[in-house]
Chain A
């Protein structure tokens, strides 16, 4: 496949201009979406639909990945702790890394791949089949029906789902600690509690909030900007996951920087 409608792969001459245009569109979509939400004008039924779909389609993948991630983190943390010989610190080390970084990122990436992609595909198809143009022609602003419900669904739901996935990851970590690493599960859990990881837990949830915003903004913006028919929708979906991933990592670092700076 030689056609590359995505930004990475085009000549760098266009890159800067397109990038700026995209950022602009991102801000506009986010701004108008949030404005509609705050004014309470988001379409009620469509919002409910988004809430329902977003949870149902993503939870299975996210929890699976959270479980896998939990196991991996406990195995690797065990390796790190081994050298210090402090079994009693395993729970803390595991919880720290998992709750604050690994779980939120993994879960958000899966969310982008599933719900973000689907959102871009839905909106993009509407764009390509002329429904958006029809709306605009009739003087109807698509935002309350398209982007606002997505923001309402993704921004609060993602932290919630991360919280649930944290439970899955901790369960997996405890099981892994006891069955594979040979650390007493009680010791493991106590270590986590004593480590006072509430801070990390909250940071993870706040990240989820921002991740939800990023994924909502990126998926809606790309959907609205689709050109070129069915294959254009395909490219937009691909771009959505790619840009969401980058956005997730950027905001992860940002939240880290601000939070830990404020905390200390």
Chain B
């Protein structure tokens, strides 16, 4: 069947979602449930991947640093700064895109294929209002939380690894001296934008499902890839602006 009367491309969906947030904000209970879903599903996954990444950063960084000079006391600082500024939001965003994006698209796609998306429209709601907006609100909170958790996991794992492999004292490693307030701001901006973008991009992919159950599968894959690319683009844009403005 032809698409519903209300357009569901990414820009249109973004506008509809924001309009809904302002005019008819989603039910609080629903949002809380979605936060629980998002965080519950992703916390372990995000923590594990960032823990590995923390260790990777430490190992690479220290091995390279050792080539130049044997003092690794600054290693912890750099790892933490880079985690906060770049890799925390980036890797968390990608993992959330993989985990949460698929779920949103699958539900949206299934609703499209069974006409429930049109049923939403005719009963006075809309996919933006029912499917996307609650998850939008939930991810605005959930993704930053996951990012913080991920950074903690990554830094901790990195620190443990540093202590075991390179005998760097925890006292020396866990030094946030190099981290400035602007690093935290950049981190939160990226995390926030990730949270805002993933539900919309994934939702749009799900809502553009073409036909039958194969269409849903294709839409889900598109959702994951598109939201992951969106995360990388956000990373690029914020880094670019930060670099240009001297932060």
Contact = CB atoms under 8 A, between A and B. Distances in A.
B244 A180 contact: yes
Contacts of B90: 72
Nearest to B235: A72
A82 B202 CA distance: 38
A76 interface: yes
A253 B59 contact: yes
B148 to A, nearest CB: 19
A8 to B, nearest CB: 5
Nearest to B244: A180
Contacts of A55: none
B98 A113 contact: yes
Interface residues of B, number: 49
Contacts of A121: 217-218, 221
Interface stretch (A140-148, A149-157, A232-240): A232-240
A253 B52 contact: yes
Nearest to B100: A238
A252 B58 CA distance: 13
Contacts of B60: 97, 100-101, 256, 260
A181 interface: yes
A226 B42 CA distance: 22
Interface string A109-124: 1100110011001000
B63 A113 contact: no
A78 interface: yes
Interface stretch (B15-23, B101-109, B121-129): B101-109
B135 to A, nearest CB: 11
A113 B99 contact: no
Nearest 3 pairs of A and B residues by beta carbon: A249-B52, A75-B243, A230-B213
Interface of A: 1, 4, 6, 8-9, 61, 64-65, 68-69, 71-72, 75-76, 78-80, 96-97, 100-101, 106, 109-110, 113-114, 117-118, 121, 125, 180-181, 230-231, 233-234, 237-238, 241-242, 245-246, 249-250, 252-253, 256-257, 260, 264
10 contacts: A65-B228, A71-B239, A75-B242, A110-B229, A117-B220, A242-B99, A245-B94, A246-B45, A253-B59, A256-B56
Given A4-B41, A72-B239, A238-B98, 11 more contacts: A68-B236, A75-B240, A76-B86, A76-B239, A78-B243, A109-B228, A238-B220, A242-B99, A253-B55, A253-B59, A256-B60
